[in-house]
Amino acid sequence: MPDYTNRFKKSLKEGRANIGLWISLPTAFTTEICATAEFDWMLLDGEHTPTDPLTIMSQLQACAAYNTQAVARPPIGETYMIKQLLDLGVQNLLIPMVDTPEQAKELVRAVRYPPHGIRGVGYGSARVSRWDSRKDYVKGANEEVCLLVQVETATGLGNIDAICAVDGVDGVFLGPSDISAALGHLGNPGHPEVVAEIERCIAIVLKHGKAAGILTPDRNLAKRYLELGCTFVAVGADARILALGARELRAAFPS
């Protein structure tokens, strides 16, 4: 029987740094290409891409043969979307636009079976239980899930201390692009005011004993956030790698 231990969640609890890659191309083919690099984690993005649950399932299958952990992001933290992803076998969820502790508490309930939550029970016909071959799945299901929430709006930033205090939230991801917009620096996540706010939030997340995460293609900033204690840091995105590589190659042969 395969080992279903959530290695990503375990690593975060142990405080180890995990370097990630953003996957925005909605196909298992390029996901598997990226998986060969064996980043510690890869974010399957359903918020800003046309990626849907069936695509995420194929991406999970593409990742399975490699030493990388998948984290899935739905477009919004709706209970039915979370249920679908969990039943597909997603162990790690990143929920965008979490603004209040009440919202965070509802997300915790959404990833847990009763009596501790409201997750619907349908594992017998789902991929997560290997179609009922995992007879003990429900016994440890609640503990298998790693719930990460994104704080990225002015409201969320104001409530970050209370959000971090919610039991069942495993980590907080700080969305630099939206934070820069919230602070009046749209398109400039490296602005000193944005960086200072992110650093303030990292300290609050760590104070609560939660994992702090972020995405930045700026290598110096990525190293800075790792030094400050972030334990899940995405350092690039597949679409950006492809675009920059293609343009660099073309520029080498001007016509």
Active site residues: 48
3-class DSSP state for residue 212?
strand
Q: How far apart are CA 227 and CA 111, in angstroms?
A: 31
Q: How far apart are CA 30 and CA 157, in angstroms?
A: 34
Residue 186 neighbours by CB distance under 10 Å: 12
Q: How far apart are CA 180 and CA 144, in angstroms?
A: 33
For residue 232, the one-letter residue type is F
Q: Where would I find the H helices in 14-93?
A: 28-35, 53-63, 79-88
Strand partners, 152: none
CB of 8 within 8 A of CB of 92? yes
Structure tokens at 248: 């660099």
Residue 143 neighbours by CB distance under 10 Å: 10
Kindly report each contact of residues 126-133 with a partner whose C-beta sits within 8 Å and lies 24 or more positions away, as own/partner: 126/87, 126/88, 126/89, 127/57, 127/87, 127/88, 127/89, 128/86, 128/87, 128/88, 128/89
Q: Any idea which residue has 């679908």 for tokens?
A: 84
